[in-house]
């Protein structure tokens, strides 16, 4: 019998419940739970925060159901597919652990912890075993563990990475998911059962593979795999380097902090950046004196501006006198600016720039001719012609930084031999253990939240609201051209999230529970809770991180 006056609100409709009933049980009572439906319910948003269907209800909750075809379900689907891979590998390769190292394109790069690479047959067998788990429709059951019990479980299994991570958690208990027949515990929201997974594919990528899940919002379709060897090599190189210095995961970073070794870690990380700029400056110097054009691009909050400034300093060390040209001054007049699908001005479109004028000026500058560079008046929305001629000398590097810098359509008039193209992105993924990691996309989002608050007066909620459109622009204008780069610069710093935590956490905590971005804000707070803080006073003024937290030795 349902108690009187105990209600939940489901998609705007009040429903009486028995306190303690789970969302799963509520759906079952209403015959709304079937993985074979075209678009089944898979997760719920309770009071603005996404949660599994195993969440208990006690009255007064506002519930919104999220279905499999929703883009909001994508992260949960990815976690479940990853769980399938780990469980299948545990069965097929006893004594060897499958590591999900980092995101790569639209997939996740995985390896077995053994010297021998995986064979194509082993990868095919692994994929088949995963499909068998889907066919069995095994429940994915949440269970709450006390922190001490969790540490004992990891210790008994010899899972030192998970043990090290759990050691520094500042909460008394955690919810983990288990699968029938597997000893694995997975931290992170899952689908109700394996039968809800519709599509995935394993693509061999020696010595491991890339695990591709479905397209966002299309659970039955897997994207085509587009190999990106330069990006993959950069990510692998970072993984190898991080392991050599003992920085494999969040637990390792916390141990550096606890043991008073943050100064060493910061110096090593910054020196790694220095090494790149030394090598990049030499590559510029090796270009023909008739043309030394440097094109530098990267996604939002990758540190493009600081990277350009650091490179210019290093070029001066070599006796060169670089000059920078800003693409922002080549915007077309406001009324000529293209609009996006929402009718807003699309300033990130290549057609928002006067490409012909830009190329005319590049050719003239590199020929040693005078050019009157434009200035774009953002107040009036009009382009203005400068009144002072600009000229560069023979052998003087010209640096162009902007989101379109690697697009071949930006500089068709300049021969490839006269250009050095650099792609900048924060590619320092931070593993939580062998199966979970903090995405590089989240690292950039933390940077942007802090910078927007520090220098633009935006709240965290405002930044989170803009982020989907920023990401869409990256997918359209930046990522398709990253493989054109001659050099990949990993602008991430191993220690940065422990510093950004001090700025980002309180701003994210200010996002109210009725805010549409509350769920994402809480997810980001949970990620930061894995880390102990680092005092920002240890960050040098030349660090790229100063572009976001302030106190830089460069002028912006």
Residue 18 belongs to a domain with what CATH number? Answer: 3.10.20.30
For residues 351 and 473, state if they share a domain.
no
Residue 184 belongs to a domain with what CATH number? Answer: 3.30.980.10
For residues 222 and 357, state if they share a domain.
no
DSSP 23-77: HHHHHHHTT---TTSSS-EEEEEETTEEE-TT-B--SS-EEEEEETTSGGGHHHH
- pLDDT score at 1: 46
- Any domain includes 121: yes
- pLDDT score at 122: 98
For residues 219 and 246, state if they share a domain.
no
**pLDDT per position as a tens digit, 415-465:** 888 899 999 999 887 888 887 888 889 999 999 999 999 998 999 999 999
**pLDDT per position as a tens digit, 132-185:** 999 999 999 888 888 888 889 888 888 888 888 888 887 788 888 899 888 888
Q: Which of 366, 395, 424 is the last residue in one of the domains?
A: 395
Q: How far apart are CA 111 and CA 113, in angstroms?
A: 6
For residues 279 and 418, state if they share a domain.
yes
- Any domain includes 296: yes
For residues 290 and 432, state if they share a domain.
yes
Residue 26 structural domain: 7-67
Element (H, E) at 444: helix 440-451
- Any domain includes 468: yes
For residues 159 and 89, state if they share a domain.
yes
- Any domain includes 309: no
The pTM for the full model equals 0.89
Q: How far apart are CA 86 and CA 129, in angstroms?
A: 11
- pLDDT score at 163: 86
Q: How far apart are CA 3 and CA 167, in angstroms?
A: 42
For residues 63 and 88, state if they share a domain.
no
Total structural domains within the chain:
4
Q: Which tokens belong to 31?
A: 């015959």
Of 236, 235, 261, which Cα lies nearest the Cα of 246?
A: 261
- Any domain includes 218: yes
For residues 222 and 250, state if they share a domain.
no
Of 398, 282, 383, which Cα lies nearest the Cα of 336?
A: 383
Which residues lie below 8 Å from residue 41, measured CB to CB, with a gap of 6+? 27, 32, 33, 53, 65, 66, 67, 68
- pLDDT score at 423: 97
Q: How far apart are CA 247 and CA 264, in angstroms?
A: 12
Q: Which of 180, 202, 227 is the last residue in one of the domains?
A: 227
For residues 248 and 375, state if they share a domain.
no
For residues 103 and 184, state if they share a domain.
yes
For residues 87 and 177, state if they share a domain.
yes
Q: Are 180 and 139 in contact (CB under 8 A)?
A: yes
- Any domain includes 556: no
**pLDDT per position as a tens digit, 67-98:** 999 999 999 999 999 999 999 999 999 989 99
- Any domain includes 270: yes
The ranges of the chain with pLDDT < 70 are 1-5
Q: How far apart are CA 126 and CA 115, in angstroms?
A: 18
For residues 155 and 217, state if they share a domain.
yes
Of 198, 222, 175, which Cα lies nearest the Cα of 84?
A: 198
- Any domain includes 479: yes
Phi, psi of 266 (to 5 degrees): -60, -45
Q: Which of 167, 196, 227 is the last residue in one of the domains?
A: 227
């Amino acid at each position: 019998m349902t108690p009187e006056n105990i209600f939940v609100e489901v998609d705007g409709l009040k429903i009486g419940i028995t306190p303690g009933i789970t969302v799963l049980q509520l759906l079952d009572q209403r015959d709304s739970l079937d993985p074979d439906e075209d678009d089944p319910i898979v997760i719920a948003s309770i009071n603005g925060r996404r949660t599994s269907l195993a969440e208990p209800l006690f009255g007064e909750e506002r519930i919104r159901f999220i279905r499999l075809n929703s883009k909001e379900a994508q992260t949960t689907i990815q976690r479940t597919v990853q769980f399938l891979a780990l469980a299948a590998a545990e069965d097929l390769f006893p004594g060897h652990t499958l590591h999900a190292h980092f995101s790569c394109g639209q997939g996740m790069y995985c390896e077995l912890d053994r010297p021998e690479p995986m064979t194509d047959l082993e990868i095919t067998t692994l994929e088949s075993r995963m499909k068998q788990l889907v066919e069995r429709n095994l429940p994915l059951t949440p269970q709450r563990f006390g922190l001490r019990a969790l540490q004992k479980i990891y210790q008994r299994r010899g899972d030192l990475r998970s043990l090290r991570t759990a050691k520094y958690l500042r909460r008394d208990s955690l919810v983990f998911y288990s699968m029938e027949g597997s000893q694995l515990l997975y931290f992170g929201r899952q689908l109700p059962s394996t039968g809800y997974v519709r599509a995935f594919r394993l693509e061999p990528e020696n010595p491991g593979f890339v695990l591709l899940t479905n397209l966002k919002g299309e659970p039955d379709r897997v994207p085509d795999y587009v190999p990106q060897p330069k990006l993959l090599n950069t990510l692998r190189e970072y993984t190898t380097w991080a392991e050599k210095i003992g920085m494999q995961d969040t637990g390792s970073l916390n141990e550096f902090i606890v043991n008073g070794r943050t100064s060493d870690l910061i110096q090593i990380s910054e020196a790694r950046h220095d090494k790149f700029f030394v090598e990049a400056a030499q590559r510029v110097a090796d270009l023909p004196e008739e043309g030394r054009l440097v094109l530098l691009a990267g996604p939002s909050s990758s540190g493009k501006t600081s990277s350009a400034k650091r490179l210019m300093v290093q070029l001066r060390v070599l006796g060169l006198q670089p000059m920078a040209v800003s693409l922002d001054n080549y915007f077309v007049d406001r009324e000529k600016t293209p609009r996006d699908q929402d009718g807003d001005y699309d300033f990130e479109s290549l057609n928002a720039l006067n490409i012909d004028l830009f190329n005319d000026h590049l050719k003239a500058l590199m020929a040693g001719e005078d050019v009157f560079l434009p200035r774009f008046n953002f107040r009036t929305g009009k382009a203005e012609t400068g009144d002072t001629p600009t000229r560069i000398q023979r052998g003087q590097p010209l640096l162009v930084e902007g989101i379109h810098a690697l697009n071949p359509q930006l500089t068709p008039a300049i021969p490839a031999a006269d250009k050095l193209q650099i792609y900048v992105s924060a590619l320092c993924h931070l593993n939580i253990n062998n199966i979970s990691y903090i995405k590089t996309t989240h690292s950039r989002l933390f940077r942007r939240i802090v910078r927007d608050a520090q220098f633009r007066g935006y709240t965290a909620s405002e930044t989170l609201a803009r982020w989907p459109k920023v990401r869409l622009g990256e997918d359209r204008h930046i990522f398709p051209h990253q493989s054109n780069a001659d050099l990949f610069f990993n602008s991430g710093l191993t220690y940065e999230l422990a510093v950004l935590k001090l700025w980002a956490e309180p701003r994210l905590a200010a996002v109210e529970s009725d805010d549409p971005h509350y769920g994402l804000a809480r997810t980001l707070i949970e990620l930061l809770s894995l880390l102990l803080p680092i005092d920002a006073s240890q960050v040098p003024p030349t660090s790229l991180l100063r572009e976001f937290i302030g106190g830089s030795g460069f002028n912006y």
